[in-house]
Amino acid sequence: MSSSEKSFALRRLHSLLGVIPLGVFLIQHLVINHFAVDSPEAFDKASDFMFHLPFKIALETVVIYLPILFHAIYGIYIAFTAKNNVKNYSTFRNWMFLIQRFTGVVAFIFLAVHVWQTRIQAARGIHMDYAYMHDLLSNPFVFALYIVGILSVIFHFANGLWSFAVSWGITQSEKSQNIMAYVSLFAFVVISYIGITALFAFI
């Protein structure tokens, strides 16, 4: 396999993992959080159900942690080696390419903080319930961080759907790619609504 073929295969794998399983997990995670809109008790019940899933550690490792590590590390490599040409060709897609790389770096930093504040703390015996999240997000700085972080993650996923469709040959014509751009925008708006309303429910 040539270096160009290897690079193409890695980029396709990177794109695929961003949608399956990571995109699916993102939506599932935000939906669980959205139970807080109903009541603290509803969130605690949904959270406890996910926390006590059988083979949870194995599932999280295979479905979440390993894909995130590959997607993040290779994504950062792409971000810092990509040749952005926004200054010379300020087209919509070039701007999306640049913002995609930027939100990827922001998302990586945010997820590291989020894992420390939730998964690591849970491993130390702290119960991840509504009260814990309420106390955490009552800090204005932390709340602002979560707003920026969640929107960055969602944008990165939604805009990544467009790249995924192109990389895997789903959208080959200009018309189909334009339609996919609207699909990505719709996904960003809907998922952002779920994520942000859930965030405000904790305070």
SS3 label, residue 173: coil
Q: Is the dihedral of CA 103, 109, 114, 120 positive or negative?
A: positive
Measure the CA–CA gap between 115 and 112, rounded to whole angstroms: 5
Q: Are 115 and 69 in contact (CB under 8 A)?
A: no
Q: At what angle do helices 140-167 and 174-201 cross, to 10 degrees?
A: 160
Angle between helices 130-137 and 40-51 (to 10 degrees): 110
* Structure confidence at residue 87 (pLDDT): 53
| Residue type present at position 70 | F
CB 105 within 8 A of CB 76: yes
Q: What does the pLDDT read at residue 92?
A: 82
Look up tokens 């590390």; give the residue: 73
Query: How much is the pLDDT for 34?
Result: 97
Domains annotated on the chain, with CATH: 3-201 (1.20.1300.10)
Say how far apart CA 101 and CA 55 lie, in whole Å. Answer: 34
Closest CA to 158 of 85, 107, 84: 107
Q: Cβ contacts of residue 124 below 8 Å, gap of 6+?
A: none
Spatial separation of the C-alpha atoms in residues 70 and 13, rounded to whole Å: 9
Instruction: Tell me what pLDDT residue 85 has.
Output: 55
Residues of the chain scoring pLDDT < 50: none
User: Taking the complete model, does pTM exceed 0.85, yes or no?
Assistant: yes
